[in-house]
Structure 1
Amino acid sequence: MNEDLQRPQGRYFEELTPGTVIRHRVTRTLTEADNVLFTTMTMNPQPLHLDHAYAAQTEFGQPLVNSLLTLSLLVGLSVHELTLGTLIANLGLTDVAFPKPVFHGDTIRAESVVLDARESRSRPGQGVVTVEHRAFNQHGEIVAQCKRTALMQKRPT
Structure 2
Amino acid sequence: MLLDKKRRLGKSLEELAVGDSILLTEKIEDKDLLLYLGLTNDNNPLYIQHDYAAETAFEKPVVPAIMLAGIVSSAVSKHLPGPGAYIREQHFQYPKPLYHYDTISIELILKEIKREQSEVTISVEGKDSKEEIVLKGTIVAVPPTHPL
Q: What TM-score bracket applies, with the shorter chain setting the length?
A: 0.7 to 0.9
3-state SS in 2 of match to 1:61: coil
Q: 1:86-138 CA deviation, whole Å, 9 max, x = no partner?
A: 41x221112x10112111111122211222212245xxxxx211111211222
Please give the alpha-carbon distance, in whole angstroms, between the structure 2 residues aligned to 1:92 and 1:73.
15
Alignment-mate amino acid for residue 147 of structure 1:
T
1:156 is displaced (CA, Å) by 7.0
2:65 to 64, 67, 71: 67
TM-score (norm 1): 0.77
Matched, 1:148 2:146: no
Q: More deviation in 58-67 or 131-140? A: 131-140
Percent identity, aligned pairs only, is 24
Moved runs in structure 1, 4+ residues, more than 2 A?
Answer: 6-12, 14-18, 77-81, 83-86, 153-157
1:77 is displaced (CA, Å) by 3.3
Give 1:58's aligned residue: 56
Aligned length: 143
TM-score (norm 2): 0.81
1:22 is displaced (CA, Å) by 1.0
Alignment-mate amino acid for residue 102 of structure 1:
L
Give 2:25's aligned residue: 27
Q: Cα RMSD over matched residues?
A: 2.3
Please give the alpha-carbon distance, in whole angstroms, between the structure 1 residues aligned to 2:133 and 2:34.
23
Provide closer, same or farther for how the CA distance between residues 109 and 9 of structure 1 changes in structure 2, counting only shifts above 3 A: farther
Specify every segment of 5 or more residues in structure 2 that has no aligned partner in the other structure, as ranges. 1-5
Please give the alpha-carbon distance, in whole angstroms, between the structure 1 residues aligned to 2:114 and 2:61.
42
Matched, 1:137 2:128: yes
